């Protein structure tokens, strides 16, 4: 994964999409002038984030809360160096396939020394996620959220400092069966049942 950051149309994007984006200083003149017009007008109201289709975990389910720097990545060449023809395209370090489903559960990358593979998190604005991947630039309190396209990375996320809730500490493994179990449970309950968190998956 690359370690550079850039702004694009006012968004700070994660290191994995840097090479595809133009610096904001190269915006077309019409976009630059529209920015000046905004500065002369009344301050805009803050944009409210879309309501999440899932519910946050109950207080008693939260093991700990962590303040992290979260960026976004894709399975594409700009993030992984692999094309769609590569046999390992879209395959995470744990061996499962990347997935993004804000209605159930998604896969993310983290430092296994901080969040072991198989750890389950709730990330405000992103939803439930399971640590299934790692990255050379993802060290310490940094996480990388999977998105299907680079457009989604910079439009929906970019780079944020966010407080995430750990609701299950992983045992160093993440399997497709685990993803299926959590996906079905969240689809039914809109959250993670306590019974599933207590299972040895």
Which residue, among 94, 102, 86, 88, has the nearest Cα to 148 in the 3D structure? 102
**Digit-coded pLDDT (tens) for 103-147:** 999 999 999 999 999 999 999 999 999 999 999 999 999 999 999
Rounded to an integer, what distance in angstroms lies between the CA atom of residue 82 and that of residue 103?
27
In terms of Cβ atoms closer than 10 Å to its own Cβ (0-12, 13-18, 19+), residue 137 is: middle
pLDDT in tens, 28-43: 444 443 333 333 434 4
**156-199 pLDDT, tens per residue?**
999 999 999 999 999 999 999 999 999 999 999 999 999 999 88
Dmax of the chain from CA atoms? 58
C-alpha 199/C-alpha 153 separation (Å) is 33
Give φ, ψ of 107 to 5 degrees: -105, 145
Query: Is residue 138 exposed (0-12), middle (13-18) or buried (19+ Cβ within 10 Å)?
Result: buried
Three-state DSSP class for residue 36: helix
Three-state SS at 157 = helix
Is residue 46 scored above 60 in pLDDT? no
Token look-up 């069966």 returns 177
Instruction: Kindly report the pTM of this predicted structure.
Output: 0.74
Q: Report CA 23 to chain centroid distance, whole Å.
A: 22
Sign of CA dihedral 126, 131, 132, 138: positive
Domain regions of the chain by residue span: 51-198
CATH class of 51-198: mainly beta
Q: Could you tell me which residues come within 8 angstroms of residue 23 by beta carbon, excluding any fewer than 6 positions away?
A: 6, 7, 8
Between residues 6 and 179, which one has the greater pLDDT? 179
For 156, which DSSP code?
Answer: I
Give the up-direction half-sphere exposure of residue 150: CA atoms within 13 A in the CB hemisphere: 16
22: Cβ–Cβ under 8 A, 6 or more apart, which residues?
8
């Amino acid at each position: 994964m690359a370690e550079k950051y850039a702004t694009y149309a006012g968004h700070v994007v994660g290191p994995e999409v840097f090479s595809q984006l133009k610096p904001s200083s190269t915006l077309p003149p019409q976009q630059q002038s529209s920015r000046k017009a905004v500065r002369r007008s009344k301050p805009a109201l803050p944009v409210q984030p879309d309501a999440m289709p899932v519910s946050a975990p109950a207080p008693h389910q939260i093991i700990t809360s962590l303040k992290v720097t979260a960026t976004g990545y894709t399975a594409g060449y700009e993030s992984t160096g692999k094309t769609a023809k590569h046999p390992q395209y879209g395959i995470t370090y744990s061996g499962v396939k990347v997935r993004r489903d804000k209605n159930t559960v998604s896969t993310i990358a983290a430092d296994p020394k901080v969040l072991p593979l198989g750890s389950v998190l709730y990330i405000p604005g992103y939803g439930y996620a399971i640590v299934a991947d790692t990255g050379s630039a993802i060290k310490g309190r940094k996480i990388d959220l999977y998105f299907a396209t680079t457009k989604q990375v910079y439009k929906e996320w970019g780079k944020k400092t966010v407080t995430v809730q750990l609701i299950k500490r992983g045992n160093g493994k993440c399997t497709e069966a685990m993803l299926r179990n959590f996906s079905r449970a969240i689809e039914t309950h809109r959250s993670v049942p306590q019974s599933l968190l207590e299972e040895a998956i």
